[in-house]
Amino acid sequence: MGAKIYTERETSLAPLQGRVFGVIGFGSQGHAHALNLRDSGIEVIVGLPEKSRSVSVARDLGFAVYPGAEVARRADVIFLAAPDLAIADIFAADVAPNLRPGRTLGFAHGFAVHYRTIAPPADVDVVLVAPKGPGHLVRREFTQGKGVPALVAVGQNASGKALETALAWAAGIGAARAGVIETTFREETETDLFGEQAVLCGGMTALVQAGFETLVQAGYQPELAYFECLHEMKLIVDLMHEAGISGMRFSISETAKWGDVTVGPQIIDEHVRATMRKVLSRIQDGSFAREWIAEARGGKQRYLELLRQGAAHPIEQVGERMRSLMPWLKKRDVSGAQAAYEKGPAKEKAI
């Protein structure tokens, strides 16, 4: 049986109308949800520390900005749009002391609820609205009359109307235009972490680097290795995104297709699949979450060292040189991240 998918026909903004929607945090997801909901006619307020650099940004965009505790007192729906490991402290300091019965506590990722870094009281609704894309895309698609698909889930249903609130929120950010899939906090959290670690980020970057290293060590020019193992990745991913794996195969050569279907399974073999199952098991039993929380509490030294090593990989230097020849590529300023890797946790907290 397939997932339950809601569209604009099955959703309504009514459950949010006349209610105050509080967004604590104004980063990638926070700013996009705040802007889209306001443009959909919902009253939105923003919660930020007084010294946050985002205060002036939010005020320039016309939002009323308050400390997080005040947002928790004023809002009917409180969206904790903060990093996973920051949510526990924000919840304990600002939200929990001011959370009134009957309110709704919202998240864009289930980590804090699923791994119990917070403990919401039983008399509030707990919901999830997780767009399947970064905040800038959620905002851009909305302004163009489109939407980014999203997941919705209910963790607690004290009011009996938690799902209606979540669906209204999803509709308000434009997700119902593309499809809203009903799930659970557990399923969203575990599949999201697995996708990031095994395929989208961890798996892909390790595969790209290994391919690059294999060609260079065999005596081929690094520039060619870069193009074959990294640059052309986007072309293939775009084809899969638009038409699926079979659609991608339709667009490539017969030689590429034969290599795809015969060699691909040799690379992603049973050993890799067994490792993937171990990765999933560590996510399911909470081992990954405990390890990540301990790493953060210990100052993130290993985390930053691994990022430093990645930034120093030869493919980065080759890629920077090759991309400089293509001025039409959108440039991303990663100087702040590089400084964080070099200076360590104290610097990272400031960016």
81/104 Cα distance (integer angstroms):
14
The DSSP letter of residue 47 is E
Return the half-sphere exposure (C-beta side, CA atoms, 13 A cut-off) of residue 25. Answer: 22
Query: Which residues are CB-contacts of 97 (< 8 A; sequence separation ≥ 6)?
Result: 69, 72
Counting other chains too, the contacts that 296-301 makes at CB distance below 8 Å and 24 or more residues apart are 296/85, 299/344, 299/345, 300/345, 300/348, 301/344, 301/345
| DSSP code per residue over 105-174 | EEESSSHHHHTTSS---TTSEEEEEEESS-HHHHHHHHHTT----EEEEEEE-SSS-HHHHHHHHHHHTT
41/13 Cα distance (integer angstroms):
9
Number of helices (H), then strands (E), in the chain: 18, 9
Confirm whether 114 is a catalytic residue.
no
Determine the straight-line distance between the first and last CA of the chain, rounded to whole angstroms: 45
SS3 content of the chain, % helix, strand, coil (to 5): 60, 10, 30
Which helix (H) or strand (E) element contains residue 347?
helix 345-350
Choice among 33, 109, 231, 241 that is catalytic = 109
Active-site positions read 109
